[in-house]
Amino acid sequence: MPTIPTFTAKSSITSEPSSVVSDIKLSPRSTMASALLPAANQVQAYAIKKRDNEEKLQAKKTLLDLKAESDKIVESQKNNPNEEESINVWKMKKNQ
């Protein structure tokens, strides 16, 4: 039967990770990326405002379309003497 090699540790277990220490220190505010950060934030804010305005415009357009359809139905039932029938016609056409 083959033998399984075993190893013995030469040092004790520590909670500190092994790493290489250097004396290089960089300021995050002195790089080119940090100079572009305000412009990137403005572009992002503009894109969000543009999207919000487009969504509001689409919602207003849809609301006006629904109101126009409702007005057409009301106008078509204007001369109907039977109120219940005209209400039922409005509900039926509105649900379509």
Domain ranges of the chain: 39-95
pLDDT at 26: 65
Give me the mean pLDDT over the 11-27 stretch. Answer: 68
pTM of the model: 0.49
pLDDT of 21-64, one tens digit each?
Answer: 666 676 666 777 777 888 888 999 999 999 999 999 999 999 99
Rounded Cα–Cα distance for residues 93 and 68 (Å): 13
Phi, psi of 5 (to 5 degrees): -70, 140
How many CA atoms lie within 13 Å of 74's alpha carbon, on the beta-carbon side?
A: 6
Q: Average pLDDT over the chain, rounded to whole?
A: 81
H helix runs in the chain, sequence order: 32-76, 83-95
Predicted local confidence at residue 19, as pLDDT? 65
